[in-house]
Amino acid sequence: MNRDWSIILLVILIIILVWLFTRRGRRDSPRLQVAIALIADVNDNLKILENHRIDPASTKKFRDRSWKAYQEKLDFMDASTSLAIKDCFTLISEVNEKIDIARRNKSPATLQELPLEKLRELLAKSKDGLVSWLRVNLQSEMRTRHGPFGF
């Protein structure tokens, strides 16, 4: 009986330690995570734009998953970059709605009216701002990361 309690206490202690260490390890830079996710979506959207230039009838929607997840977490960016990102993903939302309408109505002519040049400019400006932020802050953000045991 005494041995059973020792094993149970040991298991509980291990669970608590693992929880503490993994929780401490999760203090990884959320700013770095936000910047990388946004730049991934921006790059994917630039590829979609390029494919649309090659095949104007292309109706692939633009990615905005990271924007939906992180739009409230841009306070670490400078004002011009966060504004460019906001404008970019607002336009992406509008373009995606127009693509949905064109698909429903089976009207490819609507796709010719999309403001793709403006979107290209906003994507480029967003990418430049995100890349600049990464260049300046990558080293300091990586230093805040910890391994699973907080080292």
Per-residue pLDDT for 23 more than 60? no
Query: What pLDDT digit, counting tens, does each position of 62-116 carry?
Result: 999 999 999 898 889 899 999 999 999 999 999 999 888 888 888 776 677 788 8
Give residue 67's domain range.
Answer: 2-143
Instruction: Give the pLDDT score at 136.
Output: 86
Instruction: Give the pLDDT score at 122.
Output: 95
Instruction: Give the pLDDT score at 41.
Output: 94
Is residue 46 assigned to a domain? yes
**Number of folded domains in the chain?**
1
Lowest mean pLDDT among 19-33, 40-54, 69-83, 112-126: 19-33
Instruction: Give the pLDDT score at 82.
Output: 93
Is residue 29 assigned to a domain? yes
More confident residue, 25 or 108: 108
Is residue 151 assigned to a domain? no
Lowest mean pLDDT among 21-30, 60-69, 98-107, 134-143: 21-30
Is residue 149 assigned to a domain? no
Q: Is the pTM of this model over 0.85?
A: no
Instruction: Give the pLDDT score at 101.
Output: 85
DSSP notation for the chain: -HHHHHHHHHHHHHHHHHHHHHHHHTTS-HHHHHHHHHHHHHHHHHHHHHHHHH-TT--PPPP-HHHHHHTT--TTS-HHHHHHHHHHHHHHHHHHHHHHHHHHHT-GGGGGGS-HHHHHHHHHHHHHHHHHHHHHHHHHHHHT---TT--
Is residue 129 assigned to a domain? yes
Is residue 150 assigned to a domain? no
